[in-house]
Structure 1
């Protein structure tokens, strides 16, 4: 299977190609460079493997939450590819991508929990919790946006090996409830979404029938007041 994955939901910009179980990726931290960098990354990845866009079987993208502008960039590019090539799209949570990155980089075992926090601006965080199951993050509850003092973890019996904090929103740990901090055994604030994790999460989701057509490849902002306009002429 050949799948192209994109992420521009944070200051990181990345593209990854899944080719029958092997992943190649281009990644760069460039808070204002997504538009300039993304398409050259895609062209490099395809050329490296001797592929054309028409050779792809599916697409995936980090659909948010995250930077409003960044999420819109990846959504627009993916919609364009999907519409032009008639390819299915797998939307992947940006928070889940960071949870998977934490699992892989810190070798978290099944039974661990990952609490992911992004800086949502306006003194808020995007928040979601995940249980490590069979090498993948399983979301517990829903994604939400809230003030740091309002974050919460599932009941203690959700995990058997403690909680790990991942994402830049953990810089606000001092503003979180004391009960949260005492249950977190380690924190990594350097983790941001990457297209390689998006691809890894997209493959099982694709096989589970979670791919959608171009017009349903929509961003998730979490904040209700934000709306998305699709590409011109698309209802």
Structure 2
């Protein structure tokens, strides 16, 4: 399948194209220009591969958690294109996409949620795909949930925003930390491609963003859609 994935959950604009068996990905520091840059950069990436929007079989989007404005812009772009092209979509958890792109087996993905809070989730790679073992939450540094036993790779801007709190809470379980990592569309593509292949894509109007403000932290064995 020819697929295009988009992530606008942070100040970066990230794209990944899977076209005729080849994969291309690009990232830009868009700051607050996702709306202006989104479509032109998508067109440029397609042109680089010798393709156009009409060649696409589906679109994928990082649906959150993340920047409210960025997510809304990304959703608008994907829904508009999907409607116009009459192709299906897949939504992917932003933190799950970070895990899928990490190369690790256990990932604690943490993004700065602003207002002194963090978006956080834990993922473990298993035989049947990525499993969310610490469910996606938003919380303050004094309310960090328990992390399942084992060694974990810490990813994301949360480790820059709240380094002391995260180190104190999880330090003995963190084998390494990559605070500079941000969500890439590559991870979105890895998870979304499986969904498309399994026939679990949805119509554009069914695409929903993930808003988790005030959600209570819970442990879960729910399998990430991957």
Q: TM-score range by the shorter chain?
A: 0.7 to 0.9
Q: Which runs of 5+ in 1 are unaligned?
A: 226-235
Q: 1:179 to 1:141 in 2, by over 3 A?
A: closer
Q: Select 1:143's aligned residue among 136, 145, 166.
A: 136
Q: Give the corresponding residue for 2:34.
A: 34
Which structure 2 residues correspond to residues 93-132 of structure 1 after superposition, within 5 A?
93-103=93-103, 108=104, 112-132=105-125
Instruction: Please report how far the alpha carbon of residue 116 of structure 1 lies from its aligned counterpart in structure 2 after TM superposition.
Output: 0.6
CA RMSD of aligned residues (A): 2.0
Of 77-86 and 175-184, the range deviating more from structure 2:
175-184
Instruction: Please report how far the alpha carbon of residue 85 of structure 1 lies from its aligned counterpart in structure 2 after TM superposition.
Output: 1.3
Instruction: Output the TM-score relative to the length of structure 1.
Output: 0.84
Q: 1:205 to 1:69 in 2, by over 3 A?
A: same
Instruction: Please report how far the alpha carbon of residue 224 of structure 1 lies from its aligned counterpart in structure 2 after TM superposition.
Output: 6.0
Asked whether 1:185 is paired with 2:175, we answer yes
| Regions of 4+ moved over 4 Å | none
Q: Which runs of 5+ in 2 are unaligned?
A: 216-226
Asked whether 1:215 is paired with 2:208, we answer no
Q: Give the corresponding residue for 2:221.
A: none
How many residue pairs align between the two structures? Answer: 214
SS at match of 2:64: coil
CA offsets 1:200-221 (integer angstroms, 9 cap, x no match)? 1110122233311011111112
Separation in structure 1 between the aligned mates of residue 114 and residue 147 of structure 2, nearest angstrom: 24
8 A contact 1:150–1:176 mirrored in 2:
no
8 A contact 1:97–1:197 mirrored in 2:
yes
